[in-house]
Amino acid sequence: MTARRGSAPINLRSVTEPAPACPTVDRRDRAVQEQLIELLDDVAAGDRAAFAEFYRVTSPRVFGLALRVVRNHGAAEDIAQEVFLQVWSLAGQYDPVKASPIGWLMMLTHRRAVDRVRAEQSATRRDIVFGHAHLGRDHDVVAEAVGQRLDEQSVLDCLQTMTELQREAVALAYYGSRTYVEVAETLAVPLPTVKSRIKDGLKRLENCLTGGNTR
Amino acid sequence: MSETDRRTPWSWLDEAYPYAIDTLDPPQRQALEDWLEAAGPDRVAEFQAIVHRIQETMADLTVFDAVPPPARLESALMRALDRYDTQAHPLGRRGAAGRRWHVRWLTVAAAAIVAVGAGVGVGVVIERTNDGQGAVTAQQVLDQPDSRESSVAVTGGGAMTVYESKSLGAAAVSFEDMPALPVDRAYQLWLIHAGTPKSVAVMDGPASVVTAVDIADTLAVTVEPAGGSPGPTTSPIVSMTVG
């Protein structure tokens, strides 16, 4: 069973014991998800207008993630373009049962961005951006992003269910483009420790974001 | 609270976590994919389920990263799409079907698309197939019971092979062993319907293309300036009438 929430409002960032947040699914956004699935269906049939609409709705997510990983505007534009060309060619393979449109899109984007960083930069070079590899928001005001399933506060709250060390390892891996071994070297901890931190951290995060419905 | 760096027993399934966030290096990734391929579809499905859950989780996180791209990106993308649609795509008879299905999801980010159907500038609408694939693929054309194959030599060397299915109203066209052209020239494939040529593809290398066809349409290739021409400017080096 998950822990019960108290009746008083709790600022999870100030409590030491992680408590699962109850994620709020944004209904309006569910409509966006359905719209994106329909658009992908049309894109698979070669519909350029549907593709343009899909681009307009999702490009901030793609460009933003690419930018966060590669930290270079030109490279992020290249990656976004490559990702959307992939969308054009792979839309017929998209399966809404397996992934949300944004989940699929972020997977494509992250893979591209990470491959690019690893091809161009040594791990030493990536150390320079160590300080940027953190989870959560950079600033207080976040432009409203489409395709989110949960409200932002739920996501921020769920980040707090991870320990500081887990967050650090996940951020280095995901935003810092590091392999396991590189995360272990960066943090100067044994590889099995890094593996456990990443796995356990991701499990906690996922568990919280899904309201504890999965293992 | 105390740090929870407990050493939980590590199983093959746990590799789904680093796999999902692209934390394995390419050799590790490949080794894992090979292992899974050998382990069978049940394990692949189990593994895939975790991968997808974690990818959804990370997608939720990246909501904080959203940044609108510069406006020029959309026009650059649309230009790239024009080039992409007129480019050739590799064609070949695929290997055993059983080997391909999970390779597809594991390598989806790098997968090459096999063929283009609708949207290649051909004025014939291809009906959508009911398996969710929007475009007719070369493989579908090849697999049709009424699929016919004919080859014709190309002036200057090489051959054009046309796989044609009347039931699909589509043809898969591939080119073999054609000489490389100077960088400022490209092969251009035309579909001549009722006497009017329409560009199907501009090809600067070994190529294959799927296009909708009607009976009595003619497929022809000319050598054009790189990037292609609005209409043929030279005599065809090969042509074939379908149907």
Domains of chain A: which residue ranges?
27-129, 162-214
**Is any Cβ of chain A less than 8 angstroms from the Cβ of B228?**
no
Q: Count of residues for chain B?
A: 243
Alpha carbon distance A193, A200 (integer Å): 10
Q: What is the DSSP string of B32-80?
A: HHHHHHHH-HHHHHHHHHHHHHHHHHHHHHGGGG--PPPTHHHHHHHHH
Percentage of chain A beyond pLDDT 70 is 71
| B29 found inside a domain | yes
Assess if CATH 1.10.357.10 describes domain A27-129. no
CA nearest B7 in A: which residue? A196
Query: Could you tell me which residue, B137 or B200, shows the higher pLDDT?
Result: B200
Report the CATH number at residue B175: 2.60.40
For position A1, what pLDDT does the model report?
38
Which residue from B167, B155, B35 is spatially nearest to B106, judged by alpha carbons?
Answer: B35
Mean pLDDT, residues A133-142: 58
**Is any Cβ of chain A less than 8 angstroms from the Cβ of B133?**
yes
What is A162-214's CATH topology? Arc Repressor Mutant, subunit A (1.10.10)
Chain A residues 169-188 with a CB less than 8 Å from chain B: 170, 173-174, 177-181, 183
CA nearest A90 in B: which residue? B113
The long-range contacts involving A49-55, CB below 8 angstroms and separated by at least 24 positions, are A51/A84, A51/A87, A51/A88, A51/B81, A52/B74, A52/B78, A54/A87, A55/A84, A55/B74, A55/B77
Query: Could you tell me which residue, B158 or B135, shows the higher pLDDT?
Result: B158
Highest mean pLDDT among A15-24, A160-169, B78-87, B223-232: A160-169
Structure-token pair, residue A177: 């483009």
Alpha carbon distance A202, A210 (integer Å): 12
For position A23, what pLDDT does the model report?
57
**Domain end: B43, B59, B75, which one?**
B59
| B215 found inside a domain | yes
Chain A residues 28-57 with a CB less than 8 Å from chain B: 41-48, 51-52, 55-56
| B89 found inside a domain | no
| B90 found inside a domain | no
- Regarding whether B150 and B237 lie in a shared domain, the answer is yes
Q: B165-223: per-residue pLDDT in tens?
A: 888 888 888 777 778 888 788 888 888 888 888 888 887 766 667 777 887 888 999 88
Chain B residues 28-57 with a CB less than 8 Å from chain A: 28, 48, 52-57
Residue with tokens 């272990």: A184
Interface test with B, best of A199, A208, A210 (most B CBs within 10 A): A199
Instruction: Tell me, yes or no, if the two domains A27-129 and A162-214 fold the same way.
Output: no
| B173 found inside a domain | yes
Q: At residue A215, does pLDDT exceed 60?
A: no
Mean pLDDT, residues A178-203: 93
| Residue A149 pLDDT level (bands cut at 50, 70, 90) | low
**B74: CB partners within 8 A, 6+ apart:** A52, A55, A56, A59
Percentage of chain B beyond pLDDT 70 is 72
For position B198, what pLDDT does the model report?
85
Which residues on chain A are in Cβ contact (under 8 Å) with B58? 106, 110, 174
Q: Which of A50-64, B97-111, B134-148 has the lowest mean pLDDT?
A: B97-111
| B124 found inside a domain | no
Q: Does ipTM exceed 0.95? A: no
- Contact predicate A200/A166, CB 8 Å: yes
Residues A32, A34, A38, A40: what is their CA dihedral angle, to the nearest 10 degrees? Answer: 70
pTM, two decimal places: 0.60
Judge: A163–B111 Cβ closer than 8 Å, yes or no: no
**A155: CB partners within 8 A, 6+ apart:** A23, A148, A209, B60, B61, B63, B64
Judge: A199–B14 Cβ closer than 8 Å, yes or no: yes
**Is any Cβ of chain A less than 8 angstroms from the Cβ of B70?**
yes
Q: At residue B144, does pLDDT exceed 90?
A: no
Residue with tokens 């270079």: A72
| B78 found inside a domain | no
Q: At residue A130, does pLDDT exceed 80?
A: no
For position B9, what pLDDT does the model report?
64
For position A133, what pLDDT does the model report?
61
Which residue from A175, A93, A164 is spatially nearest to A126, judged by alpha carbons?
Answer: A175
Tell me the residue range of the domain where B228 lies.
Answer: 138-242
Q: B18-33: per-residue pLDDT in tens?
A: 999 999 988 888 899 9
Q: At residue A112, does pLDDT exceed 60?
A: yes
Alpha carbon distance A158, A152 (integer Å): 10
Judge: B67–A205 Cβ closer than 8 Å, yes or no: no
Number of domains chain B contains:
2
Alpha carbon distance A197, B10 (integer Å): 12
**B143: CB partners within 8 A, 6+ apart:** none
Closest CB to B69 among A80, A183, A203: A80
Q: Which of A38-42, A98-102, B100-104 has the lowest mean pLDDT?
A: B100-104
Judge: A17–B1 Cβ closer than 8 Å, yes or no: yes
